[in-house]
Amino acid sequence: MAGRSHGAHQCRQVTPATAGGTTIMAETLENPDMLQQQESAWQFQPLREQDLPRAHALSVAARWPHRLEDWAFCLALGEGLAVWEQDALVGVALRWRYAHGMTIGLIIVADTHRGRGMASQMVEKLLADCASEPVLLHATPAGAGVYARQGFVPAGQVLQMQGEPAPVTPVVVAGQIAELADASALREAIALDDGATGMGRAALLQALASAGRMVGLYRDGRLQAYAVVRLFGRGQVIGPVIAPDRDCALALIDTLLAEAGPGLVRIDIPETSGLQTALLARGLQQVDTVAVMAKGAWPIPAGGSSRFALASQALA
């Protein structure tokens, strides 16, 4: 991804069309001749830190909740593609490469340029130099067809749960819940995450631990589960949550909800997590559903724990 030359220019927390900013915009089938003419006017360049205010402006226009700080956090962990038309930034997409696999997200196209194939081209370019890597992304139902044509297949659904937490009797499980505040505890959390996801996300977990608060469930001196809470958008987001079972996951979530204070809390959960009813009882509503789409052979988790909540739809 070459650098951009100066001559070629770059309260609800969700809207139904965007699922919080990590899903893919729908596009119609395009005329090939028209696409060729349009692409000649578009300059695809790496997204740089100094471009983030314009990327943030695109997301504000699309009514995404992301703060400028959220964009900066995501770009620091991955790399992005910016589409410029003269001096205007009209499209953005990011990717995050882990030890075993990659995710793509934060794909946004300016209102004036939707339906012209830009999102498809951005994803194609992000895939170009890593064809052998398995890839995961989250798409709106309308946008799923665009990426199916690029070889992505359905791999489940994610439910976006969000709201102001209501007081509940917390789930009680055997063990001790404690903050994971030192390097040794973080290494344990990374190992637990590897076993549950197979992705190798050490850098992500280190960044999450620095940006937010990480708690864990210990039994007999061994870490069995962990969860993270951090600032995001107009409130806070809980995730990832990695645990051996639903009750352990809920015990950690309850701990973080009890300390969240007033304001919005968001949790993105796999549809198979079994947490939806419990989160509804805790004041969080299901505000969106997005499709998980995968390309390639995704790593098979080797551990006894599962992912009960995502870090985000983009970071997965």
Distances in whole angstroms, Cα of residue 201 to Cα of each of 14, 73, 130: 27, 15, 17
Domain harbouring 262, CATH code: 3.40.630.90
Q: Tell me which of 154, 181, 208 is where a domain ends.
A: 154
Q: Say if residues 124 and 93 touch (Cβ distance below 8 Å).
A: no
**How do residues 9-28 score in pLDDT, each as one tens digit?**
322 343 333 433 334 333 43
Nearest Cα neighbor of 119 from 129, 108, 103 is 108
Residue 261: what pLDDT? 84
Q: Are residues 248 and 139 in the same domain?
A: no
Q: Answer whether residue 191 is part of any domain.
A: yes
Angle at 30 between CA 29 and CA 36, to 5 degrees: 150
Q: Are residues 145 and 169 in the same domain?
A: no
Q: Please, which residues bridge with residue 214 across strands?
A: 228
Dihedral sign, CA of 127, 123, 66, 276?
negative
- Kindly list the averaged pLDDT for each block of 10 residues, start to end, along the chain of length 316: 35 37 40 56 96 98 96 98 96 97 96 91 94 92 86 96 93 96 96 96 98 97 98 97 98 95 95 98 97 91 91 97
**How do residues 252-274 score in pLDDT, each as one tens digit?**
999 999 998 889 999 999 999 99
Distance CA 25, CA 38 (A): 18
Domain harbouring 33, CATH code: 3.40.630.30
Residue 145: what pLDDT? 87
Q: Are residues 131 and 190 in the same domain?
A: no
Domain span including residue 193: 161-309
Q: Tell me which of 154, 189, 221 is where a domain ends.
A: 154
Q: Answer whether residue 315 is part of any domain.
A: no
Residue 35: what pLDDT? 53
Q: Are residues 219 and 241 in the same domain?
A: yes
Q: Name the packing angle between helices 68-77 and 202-211 (round to 10°).
A: 150
Q: Are residues 227 and 118 in the same domain?
A: no
Q: Are residues 173 and 132 in the same domain?
A: no
Q: Are residues 122 and 207 in the same domain?
A: no
Q: Say if residues 117 and 30 touch (Cβ distance below 8 Å).
A: yes
Q: Total structural domains in the chain?
A: 2
What DSSP assignment string belongs to 50-112? GGHHHHHHHHHHTT----HHHHHHHHHHSEEEEEEETTEEEEEEEEEEETTEEEEEEEEE-GG
Q: Which residue has the tokens 């659904």?
A: 157
Which tokens sit at 203? 């850098």
Distance CA 197, CA 311 (A): 12
Q: Answer whether residue 1 is part of any domain.
A: no
Residue 303: what pLDDT? 78
Residue 32: what pLDDT? 52
Residue 140: what pLDDT? 83
Residue 31: what pLDDT? 52
